[in-house]
Amino acid sequence: MVPALAVAAPKQRKDPMKDIAVLFVCLGNICRSPLAEAAFRREADEAGLAARVDSAGTGDWHIGDPPDARACAEAMRHGVDISGYRARQVATADFREFTHIVALDEKNLADLRARMPADATASLSLLLDHLDGSAGQSVKDPYFGEAEGFSDTWAEVTLATAALVRQLATNLR
Ligand code: 4NP
């Protein structure tokens, strides 16, 4: 007979051996998610957090395109060159290859949930859910607005990705 275990097994992360890989997702992958990707890279670097980072869109209109010129200019104002990024669409494999898929708005999150395969291992979340006081809110789409909207986007994604980096770093401890 196998003796009953006297001590409960320690609580484990879903897959403790899996490296952190974060995918930011918006609609076109030319405005918000490339800025979130760039901001996260900087925050993770500064915090010493090792993570793979990428971004994608739920839509297919801009596949292969560089980020919107206004997004490039805004990132450049903060010393980050994102002109080499290229837009791509979310793929089914992303749900297994990334540990965290982070949607920029509620619609993106709903679209991701609808596409999530049964064997998905990524955890899905809304970016602003990671920022205290902003839970449930969406990062507004600056695409149809003025250039100033991109400054707001940068400020918002910088705060939220910094919070996300802190959470991920804490979970590793
Ligand atoms: P993003 O912005 O989702 O933040 O990249 C948009 C980019 C393109 C379009 C809409 C939103 N579009 O309709 O082409």
CA dist 112 and 105 (Å) reads 11
Q: By percentage, how much of the chain surpasses pLDDT 70?
A: 90
Confidence label for 171 from pLDDT (cuts 50, 70 and 90): confident
What is the number of structural domains in the chain? 1
* Among candidate residues 36, 6, 11, 35, the one with its CA nearest the CA of residue 127: 36
Asked, for residue 32, whether it belongs to a domain, the answer is yes
CATH of residue 89's domain is: 3.40.50.2300
Q: Note whether residue 51 is domain-resident.
A: yes
Q: Is residue 124 part of a domain?
A: yes
Residues 61-76: b if buried by 16+ CB within 10 A, e if exposed: ebeeebbbebbbebbe
Classify residue 63: in a domain, yes or no: yes
Confidence class for position 48, pLDDT limits 50, 70, 90 = very high
Kindly state whether residue 56 falls inside one of the protein's structural domains.
yes
Q: Is the CB of 28 within 6 Å of ligand 1? A: yes
**What confidence category does residue 172 fall into, taking pLDDT thresholds of 50, 70 and 90?**
confident
Tokens of 28: 């076109």
pLDDT, tens digit, 9 for 90 and up, residues 67-98 = 999 999 999 999 999 999 999 999 999 999 99
Residue 13: inside a domain, yes or no?
A: no
36 lines ligand 1 (CB under 6 A): no
Radius of gyration of the chain (CA): 17
Spatial distance between the Cα atoms of 149 and 147, rounded to a whole number of angstroms: 5
Q: Answer yes or no: are the C-beta atoms of 72 and 82 closer than 8 Å.
A: yes
Q: Which two tokens stand for residue 135?
A: 């839970």
| Ligand 1 atom 8, closest CA | 28
Task: Look at 8-17, 28-37, 50-59, 146-155 and tell me which has the smallest mean pLDDT.
Answer: 8-17
Question: What is the model's pLDDT at position 111?
Answer: 98
Q: Is 54 a catalytic residue?
A: no
pLDDT, average across residues 39-43: 98
Helices 69-77 & 148-172, crossing angle to 10 degrees?
60
Residue 47 lies in a domain: yes
Confidence of residue 7 (pLDDT cuts 50, 70, 90): low
Answer whether residue 14 is part of any domain.
Answer: no
- State the residue range of the domain holding 79: 21-172
